[in-house]
Structure 1
Amino acid sequence: MSDIAHRQDTEGSQPAFTPPKPERLTRATVNLTPKSVRAIKQAADLTGDTRTDIINRSVQIYGEIQQVLSNGGELYVRPEKDADLQQLRIW
């Protein structure tokens, strides 16, 4: 059974969360929107990475982005080689 959560028989109860030990893999089941599935495929086609690697990196990047934003920071991207920087807006 996963360390993330186990389902309880009580209706409306929240699953318990136990942080995984360092360097231990945790299996998770997620429901992806069609847009997310397309984004994973696009990333895999561009990088050759596995879906697992893409999802792991995505979660880590999301955490870093949220840290920057919560500290009042901003993110900028250069969409093409010679383009100007543009502020990246995260919804």
Structure 2
Amino acid sequence: MLEHGIETGIIKRLPHGAYVELRQPLGPFRLQYQGAPVPKRMNKLAVSGAPPTGGLLVADPPAERDALAAAAYAAGQRARTALRQRQERG
């Protein structure tokens, strides 16, 4: 929600050494918020459906773990092959 103006990306250094970002002022009219719904409680911020498999406290299923390991190995092989070809070309 834009309460204090639109971010411009312009950083200005003040005489006493502090930095502030300049903001473009909003118009004189109060606008209704048109974006995503604002949560009423803080614990509703991350609600977006079912959580993904695996994580900090629960391990990935064995099939997914094996697939991820195979994909990482294949990516490493491709990178080594590309590097070897580049070195051979000079």
Greater RCO structure (CA 8 Å; 6+ sep): 2
Structure showing greater radius of gyration is: 2
**Structure richer in strand, relative to its length:** 2
TM-score (norm 1): 0.28
